[in-house]
């Protein structure tokens, strides 16, 4: 472990969010921090999605992908750990929930519980290996595990349905105090949307609390200087591993919900989304939890609109992504909370 | 007599063919302000790294506060109450000054709490404010650390170490690159800190060392050349020779 012996980190090594430095340098003070306000924004966004997105399956998908991306940003934005394999926990959650519904019980709670708990355990194992390295080596290890999962899902067709996936997952029933509802996205999309929105909001609130807690703050400190965080007495690997587990569990929940939404789990799209969810995070912005959520909504909106008119819609999305990264490296969230207010301030000053 | 807070016995470390630290022993009594001096490459920083666990000694033992800490990982050594400030300023660059110190201040009791907001823990916030007052950065609390002047970053680096409430503070050239006025302020700060914490420091500026240290160890080419009180160091012929000519 040679990096232990060299005094590290501040000698010009780029950290996550160099642009934030620039912005911070320009203003000379800390950028405005949004904490619980993000929860309010998410409520507004969910309502807007509910009333403006005509396709209910897309609207529900936005909530699910949004939560998944927000969870990934714990690693990417807050931890400086860029996972290239975040499809693994999403797909695992999907298969775990799907198999539970198919073979065990139609209880939605049970299926989601199995998805989340099993994925948390698996994340602890995968994370323990991946976190033995940092930076790009960490990314490559996460990618390798996602590929491993893909091929297992492909080969083990007795269990996973292989290439065909698991079709015909039964409609789950959700027990609520005093009543039981069916989560049928086709027949009753509103119930599905509301249930998903409530779950997503609760978990999102938990994520905000995590980033604001002593442990979440240490995570951000480690991103800034792992050496210094160690010097304060923190077991930095442990904090990163805990975060890896949280992000994995959240992705497992999202994958489980996605399986219920589509009554299907398979190689496509589940295993192919590691890049997509990372794009959502970067498009939305890495400096908040709401940003990636917004990024997911915008990405899905672009996808659904463009794919209607262009066969090669991904080319256009890719171009938009490149432009965004070059022009607004802090993503939509940075654009909305830093760049635009900065412009207004400047205009007022010149006047 | 109480046991010294830090004892290094026969520390040895070589890198390839270079003997960076050669059979160095130290005893730092409780409350001391002990300085290590020596020309560039004399093994001062390596000696620090051997004490903090950054580098494993090839031979020798380190005892801290009555416990053998040889080869213990740095984070664990830090938890025992040994804090270090860095020769190359090491702060959390994109966090505010307040958060830099607060992170260190929460380490003692709240490391792995994830169920309540960090800013709501009053004892930690109060301790952070106290440290900021002490290092003179209370007015800069909301500034992003990387925007501070070099001298202020050095003080913040020291403040982070201080906020962990250490029993022994290792300072690696605390006045490196500072202007004369910044140096004077830091010297005052170090003196003041020494009232309640034991300090072991590396320093290049002779005038700084002679004015504050109560005991001095001179290293040369990895070996202990001399150890004694400041006035004896000044008059020691071999030390003068090393410092004047750079060779022996």
B137/chain A closest Cα distance in angstroms: 14
Residues B76 and B89 in one domain: no
pLDDT digits (tens, 9 = 90+) for B73-118: 999 999 999 999 998 889 999 999 999 999 999 997 777 888 888 8
Cβ contact B90–A29 (<8 Å): no
pLDDT at A174: 93
Give residue A9's pLDDT band: very low, low, confident or very high (50, 70, 90): very low
- Domain range for residue B99? 82-165
pLDDT of A149 over the 50 cut: yes
- What is the distance in angstroms between the Cα of A29 and the nearest Cα belonging to chain B? 5
Co-location of B175 and B67 in the same domain: yes
CATH of the domain at A248: 1.10.3470
User: Which pLDDT tens digit goes with each residue over A154-191?
Assistant: 999 999 988 899 999 999 999 999 899 999 888 999 99
Residue A316 located in a structural domain: yes
* Res A75: pLDDT: 96
Is B192 contained in some domain? no
Mean pLDDT of A19-44: 63
Backbone torsion region of residue B38, taken as left when φ is above 0, otherwise alpha when ψ lies between -120 and 50, otherwise beta: left
DSSP notation for B184-227: HHHHHHHHHHTTTSEEEEE---HHHHHHH-SEEEEEETTEEEEE
pLDDT for the residue numbered A7: 35
Average pLDDT score, chain A: 88
Percent share of chain B, pLDDT over 90: 55
Whole-angstrom distance, CA of residue A311 vs CA of residue A134: 38
Min mean pLDDT across A4-18, A130-144, B197-211 is at A4-18
Minimal-distance CA residue of chain B relative to A218: B103
In a domain, A133, yes or no: yes
Confidence of residue B39 (pLDDT cuts 50, 70, 90): confident
Residue B150 pLDDT > 80, yes or no? yes
Predicted confidence (pLDDT) per residue in A290-332, tens digit: 999 999 999 999 999 999 998 888 898 889 889 988 888 889 9
Phi first, then psi, for residue A193 (nearest 5°) are -60, -45
* Inside any domain, residue B2: yes
Closest CA to B62 of B18, B27, B21: B27
Nearest residue in A to B92, CA atom: A224
- Give the model's pLDDT for residue A8: 34
Q: Which of A4, A10, A236 sits opposite B88 (nearest CB)?
A: A10
**Quick one: closest CA in B to A208, which residue?**
B117
pLDDT class of A231 with cuts at 50, 70, 90: very high
Contact (Cβ atoms closer than 8 angstroms) between residue B93 and residue A224: yes
**b (16+ CB within 10 A) / e for B142-173:** ebbbbbbeebbbbbbbbbbbbbbebbbbbbbb
Round to whole Å and give the CA distance between A84 and A345.
38
Q: Which domain holds residue A90?
A: 39-346
Q: What are phi and psi of A34, to 5 degrees?
A: -105, 125
Contact criterion met (CB < 8 Å) for B74 and A212: no
Q: How confident is the model at residue A5 (pLDDT cuts 50, 70, 90)?
A: very low
**Percent share of chain A, pLDDT over 70:** 89
Based on the domain organization, do B112 and B158 belong to the same domain? yes
The answer to whether residue A251 is domain-embedded is: yes
**Interface mutation target, options A233, A236, A238, chain B, most CBs of B under 10 Å:** A233
pTM value is 0.89
Looking at B165, B187, B213, the residue that finishes a domain is: B165
What is the pLDDT, as a whole number, of residue A348? Answer: 64
The pLDDT value recorded for residue B1 is 53
A74 inside domain:
yes
Per-residue CA distances from B246 to A127, A260, B202, B205 (Å): 50, 75, 18, 15
List alpha helices for chain A, DSSP H.
18-27, 37-52, 56-73, 87-103, 108-130, 135-155, 157-160, 189-212, 214-224, 226-231, 236-262, 274-284, 290-309, 313-327, 331-334, 340-350
Q: Which of A211, A213, A245, A250 to mutate to test the interface with B (most CBs of B within 10 A)?
A: A213
Which of A3, A228, A245 has the most B C-beta neighbours within 10 Å, making it the best mutation to test the interface with B? Answer: A228
Quick one: closest CA in B to A4, which residue?
B54
A80 SS3 class: coil
Tell me, yes or no, whether B74 and B86 share the same domain: no
Q: What pLDDT is attached to residue A155?
A: 94
Concatenating the DSSP letter of every residue in A165-221 gives -B--PPPPEEEETTEEEE--TTT-HHHHHHHHHHHHHHHHHHHHHHHHSHHHHHHHH
Q: What is residue A233's DSSP assignment?
A: T
How close does chain B come to A214, measured CA to CA in Å?
5
The reply to whether B2 and B25 lie within a common domain is yes
| Interval A263-273: pLDDT, tens | 999 998 988 89
Residue the block writes with tokens 């994370």: A127
- Dig out the tokens for A327 from the structure: 């022009």
B226: distance to nearest CA of chain A, Å?
Answer: 27
Number of domains in chain A: 1
> How confident is the model at residue A325, as a pLDDT?
86
A242 vs B contacts (CB less than 8 Å)? 112, 114
Mean of per-residue pLDDT scores for chain B: 89
In a domain, B184, yes or no: no
Whether B43 and B147 share a structural domain: no
Cis omega (within 30 of 0) on the bond before A269? yes
Chain B environment of A236 (Cβ under 8 Å): 75
Tell me whether residue A24 is in a domain: no
3-class SS of residue B169: strand
In tens, the pLDDT along B173-219 reads 988 888 888 899 889 999 999 998 999 999 888 888 888 899 999 98
When pLDDT is averaged across residues A249-268 and rounded to a whole number, the result is: 95
Total domains in chain B come to 2
Alpha-carbon distance of A230 to A236, in angstroms, equals 6
Q: With 90 as the cut, is the pLDDT of residue A31 above it?
A: no
Q: Is A283 exposed, middle or buried (0-12, 13-18, 19+ CB in 10 A)?
A: buried
Residue A4 pLDDT exceeds 50:
no
Q: How confident is the model at residue A1 (pLDDT cuts 50, 70, 90)?
A: very low
Choose between A268 and A126: higher pLDDT: A126
In terms of average pLDDT, the best of A10-14, A138-142, B5-9 is: A138-142
User: CB neighbours of B133 closer than 8 A, spacing ≥ 6?
Assistant: none
Helix axes A189-212, A56-73, angle to 10 degrees: 10
Does residue A207 belong to any structural domain of this protein? Answer: yes
C-alpha angle B201-B53-B247 in degrees, rounded to nearest 5: 50
Q: Does B161 touch chain A (CB under 8 A)?
A: yes
Report pLDDT for B244: 61
Look at residue A347 in the predicted model and tell me its pLDDT: 66
Cβ burial B21-55 (10 Å sphere, 16+ → b, else e): bbebebbbbeebbbbbbbbeebbbbbbbbbbbbbb
DSSP string, A60-71: HHHHHHHHHHHH
Find the CATH number of the domain harbouring B116.
3.40.50.300
Q: What percent of chain B has pLDDT over 70?
A: 98
Domain presence at residue A78: yes
> Which tens digit of pLDDT belongs to each residue from B216-245?
999 888 888 888 888 888 788 887 777 765
**What is the SS3 assignment for A253-276?**
HHHHHHHHHHCCECCCCHHHCHHH
On whether residue A26 sits in a domain, the answer given is no
* CA pair distance B175, B184, nearest whole angstrom: 9
Same domain, B86 and B35: no
Instruction: Tell me: pLDDT of A45 over 80.
Output: yes
Per-residue model confidence (pLDDT) at position A14: 38
Distance CA B157, CA B169 (A): 12
Cα-trace Rg, chain B = 18
Residues B154 and B50 in one domain: no
């Amino acid at each position: 472990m040679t990096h232990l012996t060299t005094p590290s980190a501040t000698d010009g090594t780029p950290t996550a969010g160099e642009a934030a430095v620039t912005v911070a340098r320009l203003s000379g003070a800390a950028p405005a921090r949004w904490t619980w306000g993000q929860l309010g924004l998410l409520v507004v966004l969910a309502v807007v999605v509910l009333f403006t997105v005509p396709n209910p399956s897309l609207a529900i998908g936005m909530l699910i992908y949004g939560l998944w991306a927000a969870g990934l940003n714990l690693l990417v934005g807050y931890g400086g750990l860029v996972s290239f394999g975040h499809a693994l926990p999403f797909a695992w959650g999907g298969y775990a929930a799907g198999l539970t519904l198919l073979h065990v019980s139609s209880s939605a709670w049970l299926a989601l519980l199995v998805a989340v708990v099993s994925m948390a355990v698996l994340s602890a194992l995968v994370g323990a290996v991946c976190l033995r390295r940092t930076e790009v080596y960490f990314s490559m290890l996460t990618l390798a595990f996602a590929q491993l999962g893909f091929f297992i899902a492909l080969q083990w067709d007795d269990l996973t349905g292989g290439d065909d996936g698991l079709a015909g997952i039964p409609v789950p029933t959700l027990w609520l105090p005093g009543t039981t509802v069916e989560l049928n996205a086709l027949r009753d999309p509103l119930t599905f949307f509301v249930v998903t929105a409530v779950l997503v909001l609760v978990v999102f609130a938990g994520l905000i609390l995590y980033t604001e807690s002593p442990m979440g703050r240490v995570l951000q400190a480690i991103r800034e200087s792992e050496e210094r965080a160690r010097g304060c007495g923190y077991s930095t690997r442990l904090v990163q591993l805990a975060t890896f587990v949280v992000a994995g569990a959240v992705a497992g929940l999202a994958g489980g919900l996605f399986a219920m939404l589509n009554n299907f789990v398979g190689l496509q799209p589940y295993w192919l989304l590691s890049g997509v969810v990372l794009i959502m995070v970067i498009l939305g912005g890495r400096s908040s939890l709401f940003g990636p959520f917004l990024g997911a909504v915008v990405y899905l909106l672009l996808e659904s609109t463009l794919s209607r008119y262009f066969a090669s819609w991904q080319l256009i999305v890719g171009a938009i992504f490149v432009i965004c990264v070059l022009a607004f490296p802090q993503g939509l969230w940075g654009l909305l909370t830093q760049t635009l207010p900065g412009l207004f301030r400047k205009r007022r000053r010149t006047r | 007599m109480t046991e010294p807070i830090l004892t290094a016995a026969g520390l040895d470390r070589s890198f390839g063919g270079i003997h960076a630290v050669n059979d160095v022993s130290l005893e730092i009594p409780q409350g001391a302000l002990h300085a290590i001096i020596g020309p560039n490459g004399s093994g001062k920083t390596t000696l620090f790294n051997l004490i903090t666990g950054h580098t494993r000694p090839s031979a020798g033992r380190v005892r801290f506060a009555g416990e053998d800490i040889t080869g213990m990982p740095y984070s664990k050594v830090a938890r025992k109450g040994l804090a270090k400030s860095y020769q190359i300023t090491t702060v959390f660059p994109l966090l505010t000054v307040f958060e830099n110190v607060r992170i260190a201040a929460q380490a003692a009791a709240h490391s792995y709490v994830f169920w309540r907001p960090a800013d709501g823990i009053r004892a930690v916030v109060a301790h952070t404010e106290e440290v900021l007052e002490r290092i003179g950065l209370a007015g800069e609390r909301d500034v992003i650390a990387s925007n501070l002047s070099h001298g202020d970053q050095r003080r913040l680096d020291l403040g982070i170490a201080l906020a962990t409430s250490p029993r022994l503070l290792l300072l690696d050239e605390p006045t490196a690159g500072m202007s004369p006025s910044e140096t004077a302020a830091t010297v005052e700060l170090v003196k003041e800190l020494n009232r309640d914490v034991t300090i072991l420091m590396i320093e290049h500026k002779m005038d700084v060392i002679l004015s504050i240290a109560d005991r001095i160890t001179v290293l040369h080419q990895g070996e202990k050349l001399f150890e004694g009180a400041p006035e004896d160091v000044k008059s020691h012929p071999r030390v003068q020779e090393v410092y004047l000519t750079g060779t022996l």
